[in-house]
Structure formats: C-alpha cells, structure tokens
Chains A and B, each alone.
Chain A
Amino acid sequence: MPKINIRYQLGNHAIAQALYDSGVDLVSGYPGTPSSEIIEALARLKPDCHVEWSVNEKVALEVAIGASWSGGRSAATMKHVGLNVASDPFMTIAYAGVKGGLVIISADDPGCHSSQNEQDNRRYAQFARIPCLDPATPQEACDMVPYAFDFSEKFEIPVILLPTTRVCHGKSGITIPGTEKPGKKIGFEKRPQQWVMLPAHARVRHNVLMEKQDIMAEALSSSKWNQLDIIKGAELGIIASGVASVYAREAMDRLDIKASFLKISTYPVPLNLVEQLLDSVGQLMDSAGQVLVIEELEPVVEEAVRSISGTRNVDVHGKDMVPRNGELNVSIVEAAISKFASVDHTPHVPEELSVELPNRPPVMCPGCPHRATYYAMKKAFGKSAVFPGDIGCYTLGVQMGTMDTCLCMGASITTASGIYHAGETEPICCSIGDSTFLHTGIPGLLNAVYNGADITVTILDNRTTAMTGHQPHPGTGLNVLGDATFMASLEDISKSCGVEFVEATDPFNVKETIHVFKQAREHKGTAVVISRQECIITARRSGIRLTPFTVDPDECQGCKACIRFGCPASSFVESTEEGEKGKAVIGELCVGCGVCAQVCPFDAIKEVSE
C-alpha cells in the first residue's frame, strides 16, 4: 500500500521507502556518507526484494545491472566518489542499456563534509550521456524515484538520482508518492547484440545511445522537475539548479528581486526552457538582457546556457559571481544576486569574538582500538618510518603521526608499494581498515607480493565499517539483514595473495602488538599484521562493559605519557603548588580498554576497584 501520510523523516529514509514502494527488486550499494542510510532503511523494511551491502561500488552497480537485465527494477547506492570505483561498468551500461528500471543513486557532497573531494557527478552524467535528476529537497528526491524507474524502462537507460548532503541528511515532513507497482516478468532474456559489448556491438549501441538523446532531453525538459516563471518585461533572468534553486528563491525574496526564474533539476540541461528564458530577457532593444546561473560546483548549466546564448541579446554570468568550490548557502547566493542585479545589500559580517574558542576536531573514541594499534606501530617503526593510509575512522591517525597519506579507498597498500619501489629506505608501514581491505585492498596486496614490495600492511580489523555507521561486510559473517552468512578470513585472503608473514594481534595488548610489528618490520617482503579488536562503539552496544581505569595520584609523576597517547578520557591537571608537577586524571569517558595503563611508565594507572 502506498503511504499517503506526511512523516517527518530523513531524506535518505524517504528515498528508501520510495524505492520500496516503486516495486524495486534489488538494491545494492557500498556504505559512504551521505548515502549509507538508504540501504540501512531498506533492510529495516524487511523487504521482499533483495538488498545487499556489496564489497564495493563497482560490484554493487554490476549486481544491479544483472538484475535489470533480468527484467527486475534495481538501484545501486553510493557516495559521489563511489561512482569513480563504479565508473567502468557505468560508462558502458549507457551503451548496453537496461531492461528493468535501473536507478544509480550518487550522493554528492559539496563542501566535503565527509569526503576526500567534492567532485560534481553531473559531469559523469554528461560524460556517459546518462540522464540525471538533481533534487532540490528531500521531498523532491523521493518523488523522483518512481519517475526515474519509469523513465529508465521507457528509454532503456539507467537514470542517476543525485541527492546532495543537504537532501540526504535533510529532514522534513515527507509524503511518499503513491505508485503503481509494475507488472514484471523476471527472467534473463538473451540479447547478445545488446548485452555483449564486443566492438561490433558497441559501435552500434553507441549510435543507439546518441539517437535517443534528443527524445530523452525532450521528455526530461517537459517534466515537472523543471520550473520556468517568466516575468514579462523583466530584463533579469536567474537560472538555478537542484538545491541551489531553493537558496536562490530565498535570496530573491529577501532582496525583493523581480526576475524571470528557471529551476533546473534534470540533465541534459533543458535547453528549450533556457531558450525561452533567454528570449524573454533579451527582448529589450536598448540593452542586453542579464542572466545569472547559480549552481553548486561545476558550471554544467552555465556551459549549456553559453552554448546557445551567442546569437541572443544577453550577457551570461555564472562562475564569475558564484564560487566554483564549496557548498552554497543563502548568504553566498544573496551576495551573488545583489551584485548581479546591482542592488544595495549589506552582507552579514561576522563580529569578532572577545573570547578565543578551542578547535574541536573529530577524534578517535575513548577505547578506540585504532589508537592502540597506532601507538604500537609508532613504537615499533619509529617516527621517521613512512605511514601510508586509507579511508575510515583510522584516517584520524593523522593526529598521531601514523597517517602520512590518504587518497582514496584502497590506496594505502598500492601507494606504499610505489614509495618502496621508488627507493625509499625508511621502513614503510601502511594502514587499511577491514572493510576497506575487502573493498579495494586485496588487488593492491596481491600486486605488492607479486612485484616484491618490502612493506608492512596493517589491517585494522575492528569487525565493522565504522565510519559510515557500522555496516557489516564479508569479514563480519553477517549480511545487511543481520543474518549469518559466510565469514571471510583476512588471514586466509592474505595468505592466498602470497603473503608469507601474516600475524594477528590484539591491539589492547600493547607489548604483544609492538612485538608483532617489530617482527613484520624485520620480515623481508610484504608482511601483513591484522590488528583485531572490535570497534568500541559496537562492543558497548552489544553489552560489553570493562572496568574503567583511574590514576593513582601518589604514583603519577606527571610525565604526560598517557596524555600524549591522546585518549579523550584522560586529561592533565596542573598543580597549583609552586614547583609541583601536575597529575593526569581519567574521567568518566573511560571504557576500560586498559591501554593507557600499559603506556604509563610508572604503573600509576589501575583498574577502578569498587
């Protein structure tokens, strides 16, 4: 039954419900902020469709493509950079086309709230010539889902739904669109000219792709996602896309600007609507009409507007007034519009504070096993060793000096190999999480062994995909529904890649872990250290409670070894007495991992005795 009531909910949760209500047969994805909650919410709906956390985005998209080729409706979810991983199937599925509707959800992150870059995936849509929907609000994202499936089936092409962080993690009262579930016959149909991308077939399919562009553009252009409001006689025109359109509306109202307005939420850019706007503002005889394009990140719309503005009496503005980097907001858009329209506007200027506020960067939790691993790693390898890194909570190891690089998923082992082969003589010890290792780390490990990289690979195995909200992966032995399944062994995988030195250690045992790291360092060739201890968040959620620790003030010498360890549960109280040293104290955040007690050279840290 389609839901008709309004519910206050997260954009991603509403997208999940809309997928479900559209009769989706399969949803696959790899966790990544801001996309992760879509699959989590679908799993909670106890769906009669197949939902999975795939090992990476390329795998996820290919699984979804298989379902579509069998006539099922499918969706693949990922963060924007996930589409880079999936770009190989993505570029060619445009040629091959689909049977059942396929929606690729690329959650973009302007402003890099939780990402290593802020690439604009509308460029991917252009590149592959795949249609793209760019919702302005959570409600619109949700409404676009059934439309995207219908469109995908009608034109036999995948559709990208591209919600940004503000849509995914926006909340509002959302009505889930009622949809007719399509009558489908599931069954793989052999269509070799279409599904087998041999060069001879690919040439034909490329032509098919080009031939459907115009008719798709026409259908998208007349959809309700684009809105054109022409004001007769106005010589100003404002074009805004996706989430920027709501900032533009607010800024125009606040500045009391009368301008023709075009909201764009579909790609390819609806040029006939742009033409109408350009013609309307360019009608005046004595002066050129003025058009401002407001869009986050890349000038995708602006370039399209410029491609047809040359023959008209209009001046086009865009990235000369609106930043090409970072996330937009009302204040930025208001400043751009006031400049464009030459209206007086007093921008809000932040006042200086009379007190200085300390920075509050995100940190590894009290009891986080990564901190313990890094402590031992640094002890064994020394500060001058090279520590290539990867993507996860453990990237916060940059605060401990054990994270010298972070590029993209899986790049730790590979860049470590390159650093070694370039001739670096310091020891090299890289870090990669368990989920990231299974995502794209394995080929890098195989490559390291195959090509003889003398490096240590540390797999920080906290038994979950922690950073994105604790999703299971093949190493956990649980699937997305929490049901038991095959549990992949990191030891066995490493050995299968040809690694001769594979040792697991418990990072909460500092002495043992330092010893294992020292052995790995001495080993000639690629060594793997699996530092295994459950994420403290999931451990506590499952009811594990350890006795907290406390500092014996009589034993504490004020050396600050525990403070340098960097646990948020520890702090230092300076002495008020002249010449007296201060003391460390452990606060109520302590979860009892006991690592600081092993770090203390004076045995001053002890378990709390009740």
Chain B
Amino acid sequence: MTEFDLVIVGVGGQGTILASDIVGMAAVNEGLPVQASETHGMAQRGGSVINHVRLDCRYGSLIPAGRADAILGLEPAEGLRAIDFLSPDGVVVVNTNPIFPITVLSGASVYPEVDAVLGELKGRCKHLVPLDADRIAIEAGHPLTANVVLIGALSNFLPLDVGSLEESISNLVPPKTVEVNLKAFRLGRESAGVD
C-alpha cells in the first residue's frame, strides 16, 4: 500500500511548506501521483497553517476528516487543532515546543500544559511520537532545521524510500545547508524510537 494521507500543521513561518515539499517531491520522484494543498496569504502572518499531502492519490488534495494516516505537528497546539483529520489508526509526530499565539502573549487566552496536549493526542491516535525537535535541530547544527528533524521522525511511517526523501532535501534546501539538513533528518529518524 502506497496510499498515504498526511496533514502537516504549524505556525506561519515554521517551514510547513518545505516539510510538505520534501514528502511530495520524493513521492513524485518515486512515480506516485501526489495531490497537495498549501496555506498561502493571510494565514502566513503567524497564524495557523495547514498543508495536505496525499500520496498515491487519484482524487483531490483535501483529506477527508477522520481519514489521515498521519499528522505532522510542527507545534503541539496546532497538532492537536488538526486532530479531527486523523484516522483512529493514525500516527502523530509532534514537536513538543510551543509557540505562544498573540492571544496568549497578551493574556487574553491560556496556552494549555504541553503534557495535557500530548496526553490528548495520545488518546486520539495509534502511535504518538513526541519530539523535542528544536533541541535535535540545534544538535544537527541549526535551529531552523526542526521541520526536517520532524520529517526524519515521520519517515519511519511513510511509504517512501529514505534515499528519495534525502534526495528531495538535498534539492530543496539552500546548497550550503544540505549537510546540516541531512543530519537533522537522520537524527530525527533515529529519535522516533521506531525499529
């Protein structure tokens, strides 16, 4: 089975589009039909962003509620906000580092405890992979590679060759940062705790 529906969520500016491009390009290079959808425009100014990536897909780019095989959350609250898309057999790979929205910074709302968010996620999926992607990204050599760390962790569940994902990364990131990003990918892949 190479059909795989992936929802990628985060905060505008976190690199959600690069994350979906890595997966989408790798799948196309493996010969799979792919349909993806991205958030551009108004929502990018620090708002919630959501991308749909459907591998081996004959239909449209929007994943029906309750049917995603995986959610990749670049931010924990955003991961949970998208949980309705996930199938009960689905996987959640999520960064444990919160980004407070302006509603929280201004004191108008409260950001929940990250453990409570993870607990809720755990109860709603078959397999939860929480990852301190920011720390691993720094270990890889640059804090901006957290999105690639998470793609590395997710790669354990994708119906794609590691080699083609690495090739996409090499093609998509700035040439000077290829090594750091590949390291981030590998560290993420190893950190997922999947054999």
Chain A residues in the interface with B (C-beta under 8 A)? 6-8, 10, 33-34, 37, 113-114, 136-137, 166, 169-173, 243, 246-247, 249-250, 254, 329-331, 334, 348, 350-351, 353-365, 393, 396, 399, 467-469, 563-564, 566, 568, 570-572
Nearest Cβ distance between residue A121 and chain B, in whole angstroms?
A: 18
Q: What residues on B are CB-neighbors of A10 within 8 Å? A: 38
Q: Are A363 and B42 in contact (CB-based, < 8 A)?
A: no
With known contacts A250-B59, A353-B120, A358-B110, A8–B105 Cβ distance under 8 A: no
Q: Which of B35-68 contact A (CB under 8 A)?
A: 35-48, 58-66
Nearest Cβ distance between residue A348 and chain B, in whole angstroms?
A: 4
Q: Are A8 and B28 in contact (CB-based, < 8 A)?
A: yes
Q: Are A166 and B41 in contact (CB-based, < 8 A)?
A: no
Q: Are B101 and A358 in contact (CB-based, < 8 A)?
A: yes
Contact of B33 among A173, A355, A563 (CB under 8 A): A173
Q: Are A8 and B12 in contact (CB-based, < 8 A)?
A: no
24 pairs, CB–CB < 8 Å, chain A vs chain B: A6-B28, A33-B41, A33-B42, A37-B40, A114-B40, A114-B42, A114-B43, A170-B35, A171-B37, A171-B38, A172-B28, A250-B64, A353-B83, A355-B112, A357-B77, A358-B100, A358-B103, A361-B47, A362-B44, A363-B47, A364-B45, A393-B45, A563-B106, A568-B46
Q: Are A8 and B25 in contact (CB-based, < 8 A)?
A: yes
**A564 CA to B105 CA, complexed, in Å:** 10
With known contacts A8-B34, A353-B83, A362-B45, A170–B101 Cβ distance under 8 A: no
Q: Are B41 and A113 in contact (CB-based, < 8 A)?
A: yes
Chain B residues in the interface with A (C-beta under 8 A)? 11-12, 20-21, 24-25, 27-29, 32-48, 58-66, 77-78, 80-81, 83-84, 100-107, 109-113, 116-117, 120, 124
For A396, the closest partner residue in chain B by CB is B45
For A355, the closest partner residue in chain B by CB is B112
Q: Are B59 and A249 in contact (CB-based, < 8 A)?
A: yes
- Other 8 A-B pairs with CB < 8 A, given A172-B33, A350-B65: A114-B43, A171-B24, A172-B28, A330-B63, A348-B65, A357-B77, A358-B109, A362-B45
Q: Are A330 and B120 in contact (CB-based, < 8 A)?
A: no
**A444 CA to B106 CA, complexed, in Å:** 37
Which 6 A-B pairs give the minimum distances between C-beta atoms? A114-B41, A246-B60, A33-B41, A362-B47, A358-B109, A173-B28
Nearest Cβ distance between residue A166 and chain B, in whole angstroms?
A: 6
**A428 CA to B2 CA, complexed, in Å:** 60
For B25, the closest partner residue in chain A by CB is A8
For B101, the closest partner residue in chain A by CB is A360
Q: What residues on B are CB-neighbors of A249 within 8 Å? A: 58-59
Q: Are B34 and A172 in contact (CB-based, < 8 A)?
A: yes
With known contacts A348-B64, A357-B81, A568–B102 Cβ distance under 8 A: yes
Q: Are A363 and B78 in contact (CB-based, < 8 A)?
A: no
Q: What residues on B are CB-neighbors of A114 within 8 Å? A: 40-43
Nearest Cβ distance between residue B101 and chain A, in whole angstroms?
A: 4
Q: Are B80 and A467 in contact (CB-based, < 8 A)?
A: no
Q: Are B45 and A356 in contact (CB-based, < 8 A)?
A: no
With known contacts A172-B35, A249-B59, A355–B80 Cβ distance under 8 A: yes
Q: What residues on B are CB-neighbors of A171 within 8 Å? A: 20-21, 24, 34-38, 61
For B75, the closest partner residue in chain A by CB is A360
**A357 CA to B112 CA, complexed, in Å:** 7
**A508 CA to B6 CA, complexed, in Å:** 43
Q: What residues on A are CB-neighbors of B102 within 8 Å? A: 360-361, 363, 399, 566, 568
For B23, the closest partner residue in chain A by CB is A8
Q: Are B45 and A166 in contact (CB-based, < 8 A)?
A: no
**A467 CA to B105 CA, complexed, in Å:** 23
Q: What residues on A are CB-neighbors of B45 within 8 Å? A: 362-365, 393, 396
With known contacts A113-B41, A169-B37, A173-B33, A563–B105 Cβ distance under 8 A: yes
Q: What residues on B are CB-neighbors of A6 within 8 Å? A: 28
Q: What residues on B are CB-neighbors of A331 within 8 Å? A: 64-65
For B123, the closest partner residue in chain A by CB is A354
Contact of B37 among A166, A254, A353 (CB under 8 A): A166
Q: What residues on A are CB-neighbors of B65 within 8 Å? A: 331, 348, 350
Q: Are A353 and B64 in contact (CB-based, < 8 A)?
A: no
**A169 CA to B17 CA, complexed, in Å:** 11
Q: Are A360 and B41 in contact (CB-based, < 8 A)?
A: no
**A550 CA to B21 CA, complexed, in Å:** 37
**A351 CA to B112 CA, complexed, in Å:** 18
Q: Are B112 and A467 in contact (CB-based, < 8 A)?
A: no
Q: What residues on A are CB-neighbors of B124 within 8 Å? A: 351
Nearest Cβ distance between residue A23 and chain B, in whole angstroms?
A: 27
Q: What residues on B are CB-neighbors of A169 within 8 Å? A: 37-40
With known contacts A249-B59, A351-B124, A570–B36 Cβ distance under 8 A: no
Q: What residues on B are CB-neighbors of A113 within 8 Å? A: 39, 41-43
**A351 CA to B65 CA, complexed, in Å:** 11
Q: What residues on B are CB-neighbors of A564 within 8 Å? A: 106
**A334 CA to B63 CA, complexed, in Å:** 13
Q: Are A571 and B43 in contact (CB-based, < 8 A)?
A: no
Q: Are B117 and A355 in contact (CB-based, < 8 A)?
A: yes
Q: What residues on A are CB-neighbors of B116 within 8 Å? A: 354-355
Q: What residues on A are CB-neighbors of B64 within 8 Å? A: 250, 254, 329-331, 334, 348
Contact of B111 among A246, A358, A363, A399 (CB under 8 A): A358
Q: Which of B21, B37, B84 is most buried by chain A, counting CB atoms within 10 A of its CB?
A: B37
**A109 CA to B103 CA, complexed, in Å:** 27
Q: What residues on B are CB-neighbors of A356 within 8 Å? A: 110, 112
**A6 CA to B33 CA, complexed, in Å:** 10
For B84, the closest partner residue in chain A by CB is A350
Q: What residues on A are CB-neighbors of B109 within 8 Å? A: 358-359
Nearest Cβ distance between residue A321 and chain B, in whole angstroms?
A: 18
Nearest Cβ distance between residue B84 and chain A, in whole angstroms?
A: 5
Q: Are A357 and B80 in contact (CB-based, < 8 A)?
A: yes
Q: What residues on A are CB-neighbors of B21 within 8 Å? A: 8, 171
